[in-house]
């Protein structure tokens, strides 16, 4: 904690904070991870990092280049979208109310054969705007033409863990491009970009390619981001076709021995948990409950994963299936859906949901030491949430108010690396109308499916 400022002494320049966020309730993590709410506190930011969290009265005279009066607001770590495809925002609402095989084969993969780099960047920019307005400060993205997504990250001010998707159908070129990108753009955007290798899924990438990916990950110290056991049909199809589950394939190809981010996992079965329990890499899952409900899938088995100590982060998947990139909604839905799936209202409490949204999401995306808590030394990725709306009052329980009453539209201010990207709901780095208008001009060409091509087939063997 900071020493009180002596008013008799003019402040040394080093004492001038870059930003102070004053008089708010702070969602703080004790060293053991317990969440506490500190009333009337101030967050002090220097050099893009949290310098101090202190009672407001102690920091009222602290000189600062920028001050935010945050009374009536709550400061918490920015949300992290642990699995998305930002450019697919261009396809929001294009293919609704249908099973995943029809969604992929008749709509998404034919349309994606029309992708241009411009559409990728415009979709990513629109996604960044949506996420900043929803209190998201970092995201893990898995898509194509990722240099353009990286450019959108630079422009938006967000933090991101980026991976260039590949299928075995592309030959070794796909894997090489994923590696090249991961090596080339890591550390970009003043360090806000980290990178991952991004094989699509065990049903579209062959074992030899997965094994080669694990080898590259070890060699270059890169994490891997993959879809696996997305739903039960994939697991059943894998068992019929290969005699093993998708998770057993991850194990057999060495991917459970590197840092691995697995999207979805709603198709995990009993034997998978033993396999996961023997993993030597840092494994994490990303759950996207809205899309799981919408496709009629089961949900990510968080209780079983927790018993193995495997963190589960919150995600939205892409807007083409999930319709929003609203991680706040994912937080609320995760609590609701887990209670329902376990038929246990005591499970996945509001505080557990906040742990998934903060510490666990940071772990899953490789940001465990740099984000996920407003602790001195971590990057100043934080959001300010309005607690004065009629839908959160009275405030008997702050954790419950955040998870079950508040929503993404209550995020007033979004800050990444100490830089304010949205203030009082006004975006400061992106122009939504300009981006959406430019994107709209490209939509007729993008969504034309008359050519009959598709970039891949969804066929999980059943």
Structure tokens at 319: 């807007």
421 binds a second copy (CB under 8 A): no
- Of these, 1, 443, 445, 448, which contacts a second copy (CB under 8 A)? 443
Helix (H) or strand (E) holding 51: strand 49-55
d(CA 124, CA 104): 20
Min separation Cβ 222 and a second copy, Å: 31
Number of neighbouring beta carbons within 10 Å of residue 202 = 28
In sequence order, what E strands does 201-240 have? 224-228
- Of these, 395, 426, 428, 461, which contacts a second copy (CB under 8 A)? 395
290 binds a second copy (CB under 8 A): yes
* Burial tier of 209 (Cβ tally within 10 Å: 0-12, 13-18, 19+): buried
- Of these, 90, 258, 275, 382, which contacts a second copy (CB under 8 A)? 90
Sketch the per residue contact string, 45 through 84, with a second copy: x for CB under 8 A, - otherwise. ----------------------------------------
d(CA 156, CA 149): 10
Min separation Cβ 91 and a second copy, Å: 7
447 binds a second copy (CB under 8 A): yes
**Nearer to a second copy by C-beta: 35 or 256?**
35
85 binds a second copy (CB under 8 A): no
308 binds a second copy (CB under 8 A): no
d(CA 133, CA 129): 6
> Residues 403, 368: contact at Cβ < 8 Å?
no
133 binds a second copy (CB under 8 A): yes
3-class state of residue 399 by DSSP: helix
* Burial tier of 239 (Cβ tally within 10 Å: 0-12, 13-18, 19+): middle
Residue among 387, 385, 399 nearest 348 (CA) = 399
35 binds a second copy (CB under 8 A): no
- Of these, 105, 113, 114, 349, which contacts a second copy (CB under 8 A)? 349
Residue among 68, 138, 9 nearest 417 (CA) = 138
449 binds a second copy (CB under 8 A): no
- Of these, 30, 61, 69, 96, which contacts a second copy (CB under 8 A)? 96
**Nearer to a second copy by C-beta: 200 or 292?**
292
Structure tokens at 43: 């967050």
Any idea what DSSP says for residue 404? I
5 binds a second copy (CB under 8 A): no
Min separation Cβ 355 and a second copy, Å: 14
In sequence order, what E strands does 188-230 have? 193-199, 224-228
* Dihedrals phi, psi of 282, to nearest 5 degrees: -85, 105
**Nearer to a second copy by C-beta: 222 or 325?**
325
Residues making contact with a second copy (CB under 8 A): 90-94, 96-100, 126, 129-130, 133-134, 290, 292-297, 319, 323-326, 333, 335-337, 339-340, 342-346, 349-350, 388-397, 399-401, 404-405, 407-410, 432-433, 436, 439-440, 443, 447
């Amino acid at each position: 904690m900071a020493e009180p400022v002596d008013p008799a002494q003019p402040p040394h320049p080093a004492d001038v904070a870059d930003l102070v966020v004053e008089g708010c309730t702070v969602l703080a993590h004790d060293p053991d991870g317990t969440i506490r709410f500190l009333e009337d506190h101030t967050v002090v930011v220097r050099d893009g990092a949290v310098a101090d969290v202190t009672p407001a009265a102690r920091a009222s005279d602290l000189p600062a280049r920028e001050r935010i009066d945050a009374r009536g607001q709550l400061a918490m770590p920015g949300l992290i979208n642990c699995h998305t495809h930002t450019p697919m925002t261009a396809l929001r609402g294009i293919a609704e109310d249908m099973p995943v095989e029809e969604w992929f084969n008749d709509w998404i993969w034919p349309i994606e054969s029309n992708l241009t780099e411009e559409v990728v960047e415009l979709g990513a920019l629109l996604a960044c705007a949506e996420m900043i307005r929803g209190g998201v400060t970092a995201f893990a993205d898995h898509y194509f033409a990722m240099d353009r997504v990286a450019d959108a990250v630079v422009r938006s001010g967000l933090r991101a863990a980026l991976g260039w998707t590949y299928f075995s159908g592309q030959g070794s070129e796909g894997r090489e491009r994923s590696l090249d990108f991961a090596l080339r753009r890591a550390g970009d955007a003043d360090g806000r970009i980290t990178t991952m290798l991004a094989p699509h899924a065990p049903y579209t990438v062959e074992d030899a390619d997965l094994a080669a990916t694990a080898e590259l990950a070890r060699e270059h110290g890169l994490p891997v981001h993959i879809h696996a056991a997305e739903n039960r049909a994939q697991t059943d199809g894998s068992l019929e076709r290969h005699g093993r589950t998708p998770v057993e394939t991850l194990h057999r190809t060495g991917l459970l021995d590197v840092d691995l981010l697995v999207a979805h996992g709603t198709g995990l079965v009993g034997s998978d948990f033993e396999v996961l329990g023997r993993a030597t890499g840092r494994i994490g899952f990303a759950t996207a409950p809205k899309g799981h409900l919408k496709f009629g899938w089961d949900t990510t088995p968080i209780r079983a994963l927790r018993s193995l100590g495997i963190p589960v982060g919150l995600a939205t998947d892409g807007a083409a299936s999930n319709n929003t990139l609203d991680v706040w909604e994912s937080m609320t839905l995760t609590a609701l859906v887990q209670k329902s799936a376990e038929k246990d209202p005591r499970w996945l409490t509001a505080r557990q949901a906040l742990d998934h949204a903060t510490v666990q999401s940071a772990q899953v995306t490789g940001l465990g030491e740099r984000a996920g808590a407003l602790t001195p030394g971590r990057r100043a990725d934080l959001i300010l949430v309005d607690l004065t709306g009629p839908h959160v009052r009275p405030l008997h329980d702050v954790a419950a108010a955040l998870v079950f009453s508040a929503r993404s539209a209550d995020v007033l201010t979004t800050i990444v690396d100490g830089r304010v990207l949205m203030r009082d709901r006004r975006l400061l780095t992106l122009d939504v109308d300009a981006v959406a208008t430019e994107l709209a001009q490209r939509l007729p060409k993008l969504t034309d499916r008359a050519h009959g091509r598709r970039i891949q087939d969804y066929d999980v063997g059943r």
